[in-house]
């Protein structure tokens, strides 16, 4: 019985000894693996100089945890075998230098020369085709994920389209106005541009070397210059003021195929015709008829301007009023009240009053059969009422 107990005890001792040895080698193996996964990257470029501490599941810059995605761009630099002879290089003028340092081991160096599409370890070189090198993290901001920014329009915007198109807008008393006399502006397009800039999600960053041969769309916004470049189909990037690198975003698709025509109201030429007093009445009426049911901010402004213009062609004004009545607004009511005293045609006056009655159904009409003094009283009524109405809106 005693021998059996001893044998059993000896067997258990051997089991635990084997288990300990296995556990020891597992720990040593894991420690070696973790050591291999822990390293630092010393990155230097004309834009920035910084160090990234990397472990198997995180990256840190100055005690701040950052994205590991840019490492996917750097890792291939160290995996590529460099066997070509190097041309004469200025080591102090590389566009990107990264040193990979593993604790207790020697460091590995890679330098990038964008203009030569060249990678070197200081002894041998390799060439790379394509745009990939321009996406390397030249600045620590590459490691910051989920960032966004906005571009605000305050007082003035100039859009410069290559080769020589300029579109200018200024803000006055809360309203944006076009500075191009020959351009009937597509305000909906301007609104789309502003909306695109309200919350710009960053999709990537890149070196401006990629666009050195391209002409930008330039926006001068309140004295600051923004350069927008096409970097791929349906993908654009911006160089912000005082920023050396580019930022790409899906919100910049508004620049795709942007031309002068993009900024022109679809009925711009027709609007120019009907608001031109030198044109014949027939031409102007035909232009209004051709516009049909199309509506835009430029059309509304042109029609409103026509109502208060000094020239008084009855049929043209009646057509303009008809278009405005289809799209009632407080702004048009104010314009109609102003226009009421600028015309002597009872029919035109009554059509204007119909616009006013969208806000005051009880107001009087002009009666063509009554005396002019009666008409004057009606106009005075509406002039008094519009002051009350204006104070409420």
The total number of structural domains in the chain stands at 3
Does one domain contain both 159 and 255? yes
The reply to whether 372 falls in a domain is yes
Could you give the dihedral angle defined by the CA atoms of residues 159, 165, 171 and 172, in that order, rounded to the nearest 10 degrees?
A: 170
Does one domain contain both 73 and 114? yes
Q: Which CATH number goes with the domain that contains 189?
A: 2.60.40
Does one domain contain both 124 and 179? no
Query: Which pLDDT does position 152 carry in this prediction?
Result: 95
The reply to whether 178 falls in a domain is yes
3-state secondary structure of 34: helix
The reply to whether 66 falls in a domain is yes
Query: Which pLDDT does position 370 carry in this prediction?
Result: 63
Q: Are 88 and 73 in contact (CB under 8 A)?
A: no
Domain end among 143, 162, 180: 143
The reply to whether 30 falls in a domain is no
Query: Which pLDDT does position 9 carry in this prediction?
Result: 40
Domain end among 263, 278, 308: 263
Does one domain contain both 205 and 121? no
Which runs of consecutive H residues, i.e. helices, occur in the chain?
Answer: 2-37, 71-79, 187-196, 268-274, 281-291, 297-307, 314-325, 330-340, 346-356, 372-392
Query: Which pLDDT does position 110 carry in this prediction?
Result: 96
Whole-number Å distance between alpha carbons of 356 and 350: 10
The reply to whether 357 falls in a domain is yes
Domain end among 111, 143, 175: 143
Q: What is the DSSP string of 237-268?
A: EEE-TT-SSEEEEGGGGGGTT--GGGGB-TTH
Does one domain contain both 316 and 355? yes
**pTM for the model:** 0.80
Could you give the dihedral angle defined by the CA atoms of residues 274, 276, 279 and 284, in that order, rounded to the nearest 10 degrees?
A: 10
Strands (E), 121-193: 124-127, 148-149, 156-161, 165-172, 175-178
Does one domain contain both 52 and 69? yes
In degrees, rounded to 5, the angle at the alpha carbon of residue 79 between the alpha carbons of residues 73 and 84 is 110
Task: Provide the residue range defining the domain that includes 217.
Answer: 148-263
The reply to whether 205 falls in a domain is yes
Query: Which pLDDT does position 371 carry in this prediction?
Result: 53
Does one domain contain both 154 and 139? no
The reply to whether 100 falls in a domain is yes
| 393 residues of the chain, pLDDT tens digit each | 434 333 434 433 433 333 333 333 333 333 334 445 789 999 999 999 999 999 988 999 999 999 999 999 999 999 888 999 999 988 778 999 999 999 877 799 999 999 999 999 999 999 988 888 999 999 999 999 889 999 999 999 999 999 889 999 999 988 999 999 889 999 999 999 999 999 999 999 999 999 999 999 999 999 999 999 999 999 999 999 989 999 999 999 999 999 999 999 999 999 999 999 999 999 999 999 999 888 999 999 999 999 998 866 899 999 999 999 999 999 999 999 999 988 888 899 999 999 999 999 999 998 776 655 556 889 999 999 999 999 988
Query: How many Cα atoms within 13 Å fall on the side-chain side of residue 212?
Result: 9
Query: Which pLDDT does position 1 carry in this prediction?
Result: 40
Does one domain contain both 89 and 203? no
Does one domain contain both 139 and 172? no
Whole-number Å distance between alpha carbons of 250 and 259: 19
Query: Which pLDDT does position 30 carry in this prediction?
Result: 37
Does one domain contain both 273 and 388? yes
Does one domain contain both 195 and 311? no
Whole-number Å distance between alpha carbons of 313 and 309: 10
3-state secondary structure of 179: coil
The reply to whether 73 falls in a domain is yes
Query: Which pLDDT does position 312 carry in this prediction?
Result: 66
Does one domain contain both 293 and 338? yes
């Amino acid at each position: 019985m005693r021998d059996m107990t001893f044998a059993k005890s000896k067997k258990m001792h051997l089991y635990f000894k084997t288990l300990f040895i296995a556990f020891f080698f597992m720990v040593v193996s894991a420690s070696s693996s973790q050591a291999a996964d822990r390293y630092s990257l010393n990155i230097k470029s004309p834009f920035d100089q910084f160090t990234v501490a990397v472990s198997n599941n995180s990256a840190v810059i100055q005690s701040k945890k950052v994205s590991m995605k840019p490492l996917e761009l750097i890792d291939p630099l160290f995996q590529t075998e460099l066997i070509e002879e190097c041309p004469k290089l200025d080591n102090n003028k590389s566009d990107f230098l990264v040193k990979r340092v593993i604790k207790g081991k020697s460091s590995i160096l890679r330098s990038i020369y964008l203009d030569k599409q060249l990678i070197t370890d200081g002894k041998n070189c390799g060439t790379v085709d394509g745009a990939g090198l321009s996406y390397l993290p030249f600045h620590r901001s590459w490691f910051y994920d989920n960032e966004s920014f906005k571009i605000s329009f305050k007082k003035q915007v100039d859009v410069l389209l290559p080769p020589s198109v300029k579109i200018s807008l200024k803000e006055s008393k809360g309203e944006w106005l076009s500075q191009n006399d020959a351009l009937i502006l597509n305000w909906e397009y301007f609104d789309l541009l502003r909306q695109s800039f309200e919350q710009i999600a960053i999709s990537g960053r890149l070196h401006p070397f990629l666009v050195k041969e391209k002409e930008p769309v330039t926006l001068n916004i309140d004295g600051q210059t923004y350069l927008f470049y096409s970097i791929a189909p349906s993908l654009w990037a911006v160089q912000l003021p005082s920023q050396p690198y580019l930022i790409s975003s899906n919100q910049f698709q508004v620049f795709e195929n942007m031309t002068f025509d993009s900024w022109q109201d679809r009925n711009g030429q027709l609007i120019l015709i009907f608001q031109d007093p030198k044109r014949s009445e027939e031409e102007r009426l035909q232009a209004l008829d051709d516009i049909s049911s199309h509506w835009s901010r430029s059309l509304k402004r042109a029609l409103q301007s026509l109502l208060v213009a000094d020239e008084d062609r009855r049929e043209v004004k009646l057509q303009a009023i008809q278009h405005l009545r289809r799209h009632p607004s407080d702004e048009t009511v104010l314009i109609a009240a102003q226009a009421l005293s600028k015309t002597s045609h009872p029919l035109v006056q009554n059509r204007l009053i119909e616009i006013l009655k969208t806000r005051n159904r009880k107001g009087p009409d002009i009666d063509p059969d009554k005396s002019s003094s009666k008409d004057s009283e009606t106009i005075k009524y509406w002039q008094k009422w519009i002051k009350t109405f204006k104070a409420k809106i």
